[in-house]
Amino acid sequence: MTGILIDPGKCIACRACEVACEREHGRSFITVFEFEGSAVPLNCRHCEKAPCIEACPTGALFRDKDGAVIVDIKKCIGCDMCLLACPFGIPEMAGKIMVKCDLCPERRAKGKLPLCVQTCPTGALTYEEPNGFSVRRRKSYAERIALRRAHDVPQL
């Protein structure tokens, strides 16, 4: 599994990732949400079991060799079914095709990081290579649960 690991504790809501993404793609596929006392940059999660891939009636969504979930614009008809299925509300319609985060394939082909990750000044975004991501994500999730238990915070 690959993707961008978000560390909301580090995000300072400078929106450099949004600007970087827009420079690479012409529009930004990452959005910073600000809440009271915290900020969360959100992009496609490149889900391990991606509901969008299963929902697409034309087979336009596929996983590339790095594990990124990609739209084949030749097959996409812009029907919105991926958006209905996506738990994060990520797919956007650009005329008659769907567009979303593709983890910067041209950059990856040259061995470079996705531009948002490269740009983030605080390290709130980390690019995880295949196999590293889910392991670390599970680990940090487990650590948080343990912390909550230790501090007697109610489990959500």
Instruction: Write out the residues near another protein by the rule CB under 8 A.
Output: 6, 8, 31, 33, 35, 38-40, 42, 45, 51, 55, 57-58, 77-81, 83-90, 92, 96, 137, 140-141, 144, 156
Is 69 among the residues that bind ligand SF4 (CB under 6 A)? yes
Is 16 among the residues that bind ligand SF4 (CB under 6 A)? no
Q: Environment class of residue 135 by beta-carbon count within 10 Å: exposed (0-12), middle (13-18) or buried (19+)?
A: exposed
Q: How far is the CB of 144 from another protein (least distance, A)?
A: 4
Q: Which of 86, 99, 112 is nearest to 22 (CA)?
A: 99
Q: Which among ligand SF4, another protein, none contacts residue 61 (Cβ within 5 to 8 A by kind)?
A: ligand SF4
Name the β-bridge partners of 125: 6
Q: How far is the CB of 6 from another protein (least distance, A)?
A: 6
Is 30 among the residues that bind ligand SF4 (CB under 6 A)? no
Q: How far is the CB of 114 from another protein (least distance, A)?
A: 17
**Whether 83 contacts 89, CB under 8 Å:** yes
Is 47 among the residues that bind ligand SF4 (CB under 6 A)? yes
Q: Whose Cβ is closer to ligand SF4: residue 20's or residue 82's? A: 82
* Single-letter residue type at 63: R
Backbone angles phi, psi at 73, to 5 degrees: -70, -15
**Whether 60 contacts 81, CB under 8 Å:** no
- Residues of span 116-155 touching ligand SF4 by CB under 6 A: none
Q: Environment class of residue 21 by beta-carbon count within 10 Å: exposed (0-12), middle (13-18) or buried (19+)?
A: buried
Q: How far is the CB of 110 from another protein (least distance, A)?
A: 28
